[in-house]
Structures are given as structure tokens and as C-alpha cells.
Amino acid sequence: MTKSSVLGYPRIGSNREWKKALEAFWAGKIDETEFQSRLKDIRLDHLRKLREKGIDLIPVNDFSYYDHVLDTAAMFGIIPKRFDYDGGAVPLSVYYGIARGTKNAAASEMTKWFNTNYHYIVPELDGATPAITENKPLAAYREAKEHLGIEGKPVLLGPLTFLKLSKGYSESETDAWLERLLPLYVQILRELALEGVAWVQIDEPILVTRLSGEDLGRLKTIYGTFAAEVPALNVMLQTYFEAIENYDEIVALPVQGIGLDFVHGFAGNIRSIKSSGFPADKVLGAGIVDGRGIWKAPLREKLGLLETLQQFVSADRIVVQSSCSLLHVPVTVQNETKLLPELKNALAFADEKVDEIVLLTKAVSSGKDAVAGELEACDLAIGALMQSKERNRSDIQDAVAVIGKQDGRRNLPFAERHAAQQQKWQLPVLPTTTIGSFPQSVEVRKARQLWRKGEWSSEQYAGFIRDQIDTWINLQEDIGLDVLVHGEFERTDMVEFFGEKLGGFAFTQYGWVQSYGSRCVKPPIIFGDVAFEEPMTVEETKYAQSKTSRPVKGMLTGPITIMNWSFVREDISREQIAYQLAYALRQEVEALEKAGIGLIQVDEPAVREGLPLKEKDQAEYLAWAVKAFRLTTCTVQDTTQIHTHMCYCEFHDMIDSITEMDADVISIETSRSHGELIHSFEENTYGLGIGLGVYDIHSPRVPGVEEMTGMIDRALRVLDPKLFWINPDCGLKTRGMDETIASLRNMVEATKISRDKYAVRV
């Protein structure tokens, strides 16, 4: 009989109970006992819900206290040496120290989880001696069985993926590390088998990327070892986010099930099954409900796919499941009361996706007639949204068709623009600035809430924002920054703010998803044609500029980041959505310039995360992503300086594309990766303005002057001081006021030291 499953469930709770518990614990408002109790309640509530909805194979150990990759490292005692750890169970103080940093130790690097907006903590293997500190999957299995009678499906990150996502070892050490880790994995699995676990889900998303012959050999070693050492345990080798590479070799591995993504990896995976079949001795985990998108699944189409799969796999060997963990979507649509009916009816968040999986499973087992009403309702909901006026704006579609044929080049090349800009702005060597946002205090958030509730008038709220701008313009001048910002106090989120002011967007009340740690975001929904309606940032930026003689940057979020950090429509291509956004944002750039703002930052931190996982698709994506940025910025005067910002990604493989963006200045995070990005510039020439973030803003610690001068020194070994800027690695919205001021003062002091040191080179 066909079974149902999901690969993971959102951790945060429908009202972000998880986030609130974490932050209360970090702030010392609750003790560890209370904290553990709250998180246990959240875990059990999730499991209870999945059981009540009818999921057959319920995941356990998908829950995390921060990040599942960090969990895996902690389970194996892989703790960076700079933290105080002597073995055994990892204390929460050490666990959160790795994630967030301490006064004496920098946090571990954080980067994107494949091509999603989720961030994971990068394990550091250098000098580590792995040993099991706790069998976390076993503890999760026991908890579910003891409290709810659930025979859970433990989830753990596979060895190959864990190694590929780690740092602190050379390629030549891979096999040695595998030899250290394999016995630990075997022990974990053996204890699960002895406990009576039927199925374990081992996640190996790295299998959707290109693997070397050596890696294929390692896979055979890993899963051959598991089969030999723990023969009684059923292993579901789970992949997601794309089609697997090396299909024939992977499905031949000695595991009992293979999980494939038939949403984002549909074309490749279905082609492989049709050409090579599927092993008769294995279960197929059919990921047919999108775990990353928020749209209602076209149920008839999905049933057609299941019928196709049954030509190669019998129904009793199919598990209907999500394409990936539901971690990437909000919890439920049910709490949304303000969306247009035609939009709300076409949405499916985590709970609704679980219902779709159960319904599709029922249809396979009992026939389409058993779900005829649900199929008809689904058809009507999807059709109503397609016919809505928001999706059929000919004015936008026609204008975008025209600009889409342009290449978006500036009038002059960078060298000539740079000379004109230097003459206009007269900035010092190594100019200092920030990325855009300043701390959003309790008072700022409260004021916004009062305004949104209607308890404050728009005039009262605008006055409050002006007061905040006044304060921080004065502070920036006192600190000694060269290029100022207004602080973005009116903005909740760098994407949500713009979406609220553009046509074609919708916003949820409770549609939160985890980005990293306790940081939850509420992505906008791009459901219609994107349209510029009126200036969005001019008022605050112009006001800030009126309060200082130093230049103030205008601050925008770029088209690719808005797209990649939103839930987007699926009826047109992402390229077309990007061009619609570029057309709208171009009008905002022009409005800022007309208002006298001559430095404009168009942030694109999410360009890299949108990079397709398949190498064959990457060049095309980068071409239109770069073009969208240029279309946004190309109409300004030569003396208008265009800045952009990128953070928390691996950029070494797209330096050429960054150059093609042709921004006058780009700032890139490098502090949390401890300067490793600089190696890219040792191998690649970069001749435009650049600022490599000199301190990590996601940690509460205040870095010293010497630490920052060290960062600057390393960068200026390979970068031109005449083109180099000094800045933090990201916006300062989440930081406290005192630590922000102290860090920026140290940054300015480090800059003064560096200016004296490098003056001769200039």
C-alpha cells in the first residue's frame, strides 16, 4: 500500500514560539530548564499534528535548537578549538557560541544551504577528534514513541554531504575523514536498529551536484558499510533540490529506498527513470509536493505523475512525500485573514502541503473518485488566480518586453566614471561607510506597530522616523564615517518594505520562515505583474541628506534579491519576474537621483543563492541576473555612484559575473569566513571599487582595532587601495546601539591606521 511522508517540518511554530523561546533564553529571561521544556512542547506538537493529519512515516530529529548541520557537528564533538570544550555532551553555551560568537571567540562561518535562503553553520574539522557525544536521532525517536506512541523516521545528515559542507581539511584528507566518521555513523545506525527503528532517512542533497569518480567510490563505501554493519535497518537515501547526477550508480547502492525530487528535479529524475527504470528491490520516495514553494499543487497533474511512476514502480513501493523539508515554507494558511480570496485559495503552506500529500496518497490507494471533490476545488482555485487582473497587466508586460531587449550598459566605462565621481565627491583614501541599516530598537519596533495599528497617525510616525534619522546622522558624523546612510528605521525587512509599495505583491500576517538561527523572515508573495506606483525611499533619504554636508547613500534592494527572497509566481519565468522588478526599481533609482541623491546602493545579497545547482544552467541564470541589475541602474548620470552589497555566499566561482554587474562599488562579506574570500582576488583581477566587510555584524562581540587592521592588510595585498572601501560586512539592524557605536569607532580607527600605512601606495 502506498505510504505518505514528509522530509521535515518547520521548527518555528505557527506563531514563532521557537524563536521567542530562543531569544528569551539568550536574554536570560528563562533558564535552561524552562527553555528545554518549551522546545519539547513545540516538537511534540509538530509530531502530534503530522500524526493527526495522517502521515505514515513521520520524521523525527528534523527539529533543531539552531541548525541541523551544527547539530551534526555537535553530535560528533566537532567543536572549534577556540571554544571551551573538553568532550562529552556539548553544553548549550558552546553550541550557541559556535553559532553566534562569544566575547572571546568568533562565530563559525555561516553560509547558504544549497540554493535556498536558509543558512547553515559551517563545521570546522581542523584539529577535531570526532566522537559521539549523543545519539540525537535515537533520543528523538524515543521521545516520539514514549510521549505519543509514534514510530518515527529518524532523519540525519549523510556523511558525504556533511564532509562536502565542512571546512578545515584538504581534498587529500577526505578519505581519512571518512574513515573517522564512518564508525560513528555505524554506531548511530546500529543503536537505532537495536531500538526497533524501521526506516531512517539519510539526507544526501550533495548527490544532485556533480560528483567526482572518487566521490562515487566514497558513496559505495559509505552505504556498503551501512548495509554490511546494520543489515536490519531500512535506509531511505534522500536527495532534494534538483535531479540526482549519476542516476545508475546511485540507485544501485545497497539501500532500501531512494528519495527523489520530482518538483525542482522533475525533468532530470523522470528522464532517468524512463531510460533506466527503477530497482525492483527498492522503495521510491516520490517528492511530488513542492517543499519550497507556497502554491497549491495542481493535484490532477501530480496524480498523472504518480501514474507515470507506477509504470516503473509498483504502488506499494512508492512513498508520496514533499520534495524537500517543509522548513522552507510557513506553517499554515489558515491564520491568514487579509489576503485576496483568489490568492489565499491558491496557497498551500506546510500544513496544507501535508494535507495534499495525504490526499494524493489516498487517491493512489483508493482511486481518483475518492478525492473527486478536492480535485475540482483545486482546479477552480488555480484557475481563478490565473484569470485575476493582477496577473494580466498589459502595460507592464509591454514595457518589460521593450527593456528586456536592452543590455543595460552605463554610458561610460568604470575608469572614466570613477574619475568623474572622485572629482565630484572628493572622498579620502579608504572611504568608510556602512551597509545601510542601523539598530532597530524596541522603541523603533513599537512605533511601527502603533502606526500599523492606527494608534499613531502617519504624520506622528514620520516625525518619529525623522528623529531617529537625526540621531544617527549626528552619530555617524561623530564617529567619523565618510559616506552616511539614513538608517532604514522605517523598514521592517529589506524585501518586505519594497514589496509593500509595489504592485503585484501580497503579504501574509503569519507567513514566517527561518532564515538562520532565530532570524525569521516573512517573504512577500509576488503573485501578479510587478508595478512601480510611487517613490518609495526618496522622502527619508532626502531628509537625511538635508541634515549633513557629507554624502548620504540611497538604499534599495535589488531585483534578484527581491525575487529570490520572495515566494514567486510560477506561471511565468523567473527571468521575466526579474525584468519586471528591474523596470520598477529603475524608476525608483531615477527618482532618487532627481531628488539630489548621488550615491545609490542597490543591494544584491541573494544573487549567488539563486545560482542553479546544475552547472549547465548557471551561465544562463547569471546572464539575466546581471542584466536585471544593470537594467535597474543604467540610466543614471556618470557622476552618480552605484553601490551594491553581497553577503554570506561563496563568490569565488562568479567573480566574472560580479564584474559584469558594473557597480561602481561592491561590498562583500568576508569577516565571518575569516578572509577566505580574499583568496579569490589573489587569483582573479578585480578593477572596480570594493569593500570587504571587516567585521561580523551577526555576532554581538565588538572586534578590536588590530583585528580589523589585519583584515584590511590582507585585502590590500591584492586589491588597490585607491578603490578599496571600509565597511561592516552587513547591515546593523539586529545589533544593539552601544556595540554598534563601539564597533564603528574601532573600524574608523583601524581605517586611520591603514590610511597612514598605505598612503605611499596611493
Residue numbers belonging to the annotated binding site for 5-methyltetrahydropteroyltri-L-glutamate: 16-19, 112, 117, 519-520, 565, 609
Is 57 within 8 Å of 4 (Cβ atoms)?
yes
Is 109 within 8 Å of 650 (Cβ atoms)?
no
Cell digits for 696?
561580523
Is 583 within 8 Å of 399 (Cβ atoms)?
yes
Q: How many CA atoms lie within 13 A of 322 on its CB side?
A: 31
Instruction: Measure the CA dihedral 172/178/181/187, to 10°.
Output: -170
Distance CA 2, CA 21 (A): 38
183's CB contacts (< 8 A; 6+ apart) are: none
Per the annotation, the verdict on 264 as an active-site residue is no
Contacts 24+ apart (CB under 8 A), 45-49: 45/13, 46/9, 46/10, 47/144, 47/148, 47/150, 47/152, 48/148, 49/351, 49/354
Is 648 within 8 Å of 110 (Cβ atoms)?
yes
* Radius of gyration of the CA atoms of the chain, in A: 26
Cα 452 to chain centroid, rounded: 28
Distance CA 350, CA 292 (A): 9
Amino acid, single-letter form, for residue 610: G
The β-bridge partners of 656 are: none
Amino acid, single-letter form, for residue 121: I
Dihedral class, residue 28 (left if φ above 0, else alpha if ψ from -120 to 50, else beta): left
Dihedral class, residue 513 (left if φ above 0, else alpha if ψ from -120 to 50, else beta): beta
Binding-site entries for Zn(2+)? 645, 647, 669, 730
DSSP state at residue 327 = G
Cell digits for 211?
560528483
Cell digits for 353?
502541503
Binding-site entries for L-homocysteine? 435-437, 488, 603
Binding-site entries? 16-19, 112, 117, 435-437, 488, 519-520, 565, 603, 609, 645, 647, 669, 730
DSSP state at residue 602 = E
Cell digits for 337?
485573514
Binding-site entries for L-methionine? 435-437, 488, 603
Catalytic residue of the set 46, 418, 643, 698? 698
Q: How many CA atoms lie within 13 A of 169 on its CB side?
A: 23
Dihedral class, residue 61 (left if φ above 0, else alpha if ψ from -120 to 50, else beta): left
Is 487 within 8 Å of 441 (Cβ atoms)?
no
Distance CA 180, CA 454 (A): 60
Neighbours of 419 (CB within 10 A): 12
Distance CA 515, CA 410 (A): 35
- Residue appearing with cell numbers 509576488: 526
Looking only at the bridges linking them, the beta strands covering 519-521 and 513-516 are: antiparallel
Distance CA 248, CA 250 (A): 6
Active site residues: 698
